[in-house]
Amino acid sequence: MAADVNESATFRHTTVLLDEAVDGVLARPDGVYVDGTFGRGGHSRALLAKLAPEGRLIGIDRDPEAIAAAAAIDDPRFSIVHSGFADMADELAALGVHQVDGVLLDLGVSSPQIDNPERGFSFRFNGPLDMRMDTTRGQSAADFLARADEREIAQVIRDYGEERFAGQIAKALVARRQAGAPLTRTDELRELVARTVKTREPGQDPATRTFQALRIHVNAELEQLEQGLKAALRLLAPGGRLSVISFHSLEDRRVKQFIAAHSKAEVDRRAPFAPPPALALKALGRVMPSAAEVAANPRARSAVLRIAERTDAPLKAA
């Protein structure tokens, strides 16, 4: 996820796959759209520029700073909601919206969040070990590490960071806590992991996977994604588009599997010549950043955009 490069805030970044994601989600210019990860509004501004006067765009974000940034958009077609995109169906229903023509999701952490030391997302800066996208609720990463047992910490780091030294890191974290020195700062966590992890891929900080894992856990990102994809499918009108940008394999795998589950028919071995069932989605493809975009914006190198279109078929029974 990335911020709009034109914002006036201190922390800036270029929106990843801007044109591709917007063109992919725009089914009809006069439709109703959801930007489920507003960030600093890069995709929202681009969508508004292509919407007809009767179009409508609803932005959603968990981060209070993103909600504050949305106030800079003075457009009667735009509104913003402070919530997670997993709850978009309920939030839109409260606005009287029960069907939309497109849902755009730009997953992960945004550049302003990463680059602000006070948010605690990055091992590159010394700051409080927070990592919450919504700073008004929930437990911080420091809170989690202060209460979780060794087994739970290891599982989080292993499952969400794909870290092979998860057990050793968890043991070191608990030992430090039991010695009366629980972690509260990002540099403390980075140093502990660096002492524990003796080998690492060239060019990668040893703390990379641990920071990713704690962020995903604290924000329940994968659970949010699964719920959000289901909500988007329920909301999309026939012909409506789903446009999702992922930045790591854990996210992209779930998006790919979700689209495949609703767009690929399984052959019934009991009736192999029966006509295939009608499916709720049609996969429209995968888009990767161009070499020029990656050269200009290194953070785009791992991005994957997947686009699908809602058919008029009924949803599968849950």
> Do 161 and 249 meet the contact criterion of CB atoms below 8 Å apart?
no
| Residue in the structure block whose two tokens are 């002492």 | 195
Tell which residue, 218, 227, 233, has the closest CA to residue 147.
218
> Do 192 and 139 meet the contact criterion of CB atoms below 8 Å apart?
no
> Do 21 and 255 meet the contact criterion of CB atoms below 8 Å apart?
no
Q: Provide the pairing of β-strand 100-106 with 281-287.
A: unpaired
**Token pair for 160:** 């969400």
Confirm or deny that 106 is annotated as ligand binding. yes
Q: Which residue stretches of 264-308 are H helix?
A: 291-296
Confirm or deny that 268 is annotated as ligand binding. no
* Rounded Cα–Cα distance for residues 30 and 64 (Å): 29
* Rounded Cα–Cα distance for residues 300 and 318 (Å): 35
Confirm or deny that 39 is annotated as ligand binding. no
* Rounded Cα–Cα distance for residues 128 and 183 (Å): 9
Confirm or deny that 113 is annotated as ligand binding. yes
Q: In what order do the strands lie in the sheet with 78-82?
A: 78-82, 56-61, 32-35, 100-106, 236-246, 304-310, 281-287
**Does residue 280 sit in helix, strand or coil?**
coil
CA dihedral over 16, 21, 22, 23, signed as positive or negative: positive
Confirm or deny that 138 is annotated as ligand binding. no
**Does residue 159 sit in helix, strand or coil?**
helix
* Rounded Cα–Cα distance for residues 88 and 78 (Å): 15
Confirm or deny that 42 is annotated as ligand binding. yes
Which residues make up each annotated binding site?
A: 41-43, 61, 85, 106, 113
Which residues make up each annotated binding site for S-adenosyl-L-methionine?
A: 41-43, 61, 85, 106, 113
